[in-house]
A and B are shown apart, each in its own frame.
Chain A
Amino acid sequence: GAGVSQSPRYKVAKRGQDVALRCDPISGHVSLFWYQQALGQGPEFLTYFQNEAQLDKSGLPSDRFFAERPEGSVSTLKIQRTQQEDSAVYLCASSLGPQRLAFAYEQYFGPGTRLTVT
């Protein structure tokens, strides 16, 4: 079946612009994650959804970052008033079940959106 898809694949924004990044998880996957990967670094956790509920947003770097998943499927990561330090690859991942300790489901990653802020 189809994997996780993300759009756009590349986005160039001028500093101060707002951007919206979309993630289409694997159909039926309950959990959805956003990660940020700066150049030369490993991905870092941003936020976690279980269905439509945002259970953890502790990794969002500032209040300019906002994520939603209103119907429990597609998710959007929005960045307001972009800054140069926001330039990174934004990765979305989904997994089949809720992330309970007793049974951990593997996370499947999308290709990412490369955001460049000029």
Chain B
Amino acid sequence: KQEVTQIPAALSVPEGENLVLNCSFTDSAIYNLQWFRQDPGKGLTSLLLIQSSQREQTSGRLNASLDKSSGRSTLYIAASQPGDSATYLCAVRLGSGGSNYKLTFGKGTLLTVNP
């Protein structure tokens, strides 16, 4: 059974700092990996999706990397801003098996960026 772990569970940084969020998964046979942002009382906003054949994806100040063989992904946020404060969730999609449509999520990292 696929398990996804996110470290740290919570992170507090001053504004302007660069930071890294970590995600690991136990079954490396994934189809893709996705990073989401969740604000309190709101749904999930997709930030970056990395296909299994890709090594990284970039969007603005965000960069996500994927090392499928070692079961790891990182989300790098440059020059953090208070508006980046949210919970960041990592989710993987299996690449094989009959239920490959399911997303398996980690518990998330609660990020607080202090002005």
Q: Which residues of A contact B104 (CB under 8 A)?
A: 45
Tell me, in angstroms, the Cα distance from A48 to B89 when the chains sit together.
Answer: 21
Q: Which residues of B contact A42 (CB under 8 A)?
A: 4, 89, 91, 105-108
B44 interfacial contact with A, CB 8 Å: yes
Q: Is the CB of A109 within 8 A of B44?
A: yes
A80 interfacial contact with B, CB 8 Å: no
A31 interfacial contact with B, CB 8 Å: yes
- Secondary structure at the B interface, as helix, strand, loop or mixed, is strand
Nearest Cβ on chain B to A101's Cβ, whole angstroms: 6
Using a Cβ–Cβ cut-off of 8 Å, how many residues does chain B contribute to the interface with A?
27
Scoring A residues 80 to 118 as 1 if CB is less than 8 Å from chain B, else 0, what string do you get?
A: 000000000001010000010100101111111010000
Q: Knowing A106-B46, A109-B43 touch, does A44 contact B99 (C-beta < 8 A)?
A: no
Q: Knowing A104-B93, A109-B44 touch, does A41 contact B32 (C-beta < 8 A)?
A: no
A residues whose Cβ falls under 8 Å from a Cβ of B: 4, 6, 9, 31, 33, 35, 40-45, 48, 56, 58-59, 91, 93, 99, 101, 104, 106-112, 114
